């Protein structure tokens, strides 16, 4: 199998894992609780930022054209343009940050598995904060245009605070699982 074909297969598998993660959803908050971010980090940590970013883009394009791949079996541009669409679009920034920063940093850890796991967790938290920031600003803007202004503390209460501990757990699981996955992936 050629390098390009191999990369395309890994990116397709990554997009599929993200779709599966988004299907596991609980709609208890303004932003649904899913395993989507865990899947994204497993993908990025296992196949790298370039192929992982392509996986994220494929996932978002599938949803944008109406295929119900988003949480709650939703799809279409209305989801991306809705109040929680900023978190979905924020995944692009997560992928790009991972590609630009994390891949290089983690590769310097060499054969030290514990250091790679710690670096993956630190970089994932950094990426998650960037995604939260983009998603909250988007949420506040769209929410305000649809229902009226919402303050930062209210937006954080609806969109961030309930997810901090679960997201830390998902990042830790992703970092541990990706160590095994990355061993079978060729660069």
**For the domain that residue 78 is a member of, what is the CATH number?**
1.10.1760.20
CA distance linking residue 80 with residue 38, whole number of Å: 20
| Total-model pTM | 0.92
Query: SS3 for 95-142, per residue?
Result: HHHHHHHHHHHHHCCCCCHHHHHHHHHHHHHHHHHHHHHHHHHHHHHH
Domain count, the chain: 1
- The predicted-structure confidence for 116-154, as pLDDT tens digits, reads as follows 888 989 999 999 999 999 999 999 999 989 988 999 999
Residue-number span of the structural domain to which 24 is assigned: 3-184
* CB half-sphere exposure, 152, CA atoms < 13 A: 4
């Amino acid at each position: 199998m050629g390098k390009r074909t191999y990369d395309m297969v890994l990116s397709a598998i990554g997009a599929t894992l993200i779709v599966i993660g988004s299907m596991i959803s609980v709609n208890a908050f303004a932003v649904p609780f899913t395993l989507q971010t865990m899947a994204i980090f497993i993908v990025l940590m296992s196949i790298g930022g370039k192929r992982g970013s392509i996986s994220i883009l494929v996932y978002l394009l599938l949803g944008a054209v109406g295929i119900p791949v988003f949480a709650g079996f939703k799809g279409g541009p209305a989801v991306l343009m809705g109040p929680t669409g900023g978190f979905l679009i924020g995944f692009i920034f997560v992928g790009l940050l991972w590609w630009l920063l994390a891949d290089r940093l983690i590769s310097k850890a060499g054969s030290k598995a514990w250091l790679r796991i710690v670096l993956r967790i630190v970089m994932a938290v950094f990426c998650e904060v960037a995604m939260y920031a983009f998603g909250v600003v988007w949420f506040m803007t769209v929410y305000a245009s649809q229902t009226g202004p919402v303050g930062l503390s209210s937006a954080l209460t609806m969109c961030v605070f309930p997810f901090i501990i679960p997201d830390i757990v998902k990042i830790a699981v992703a970092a541990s699982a990706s160590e095994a996955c990355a061993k079978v992936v060729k660069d």
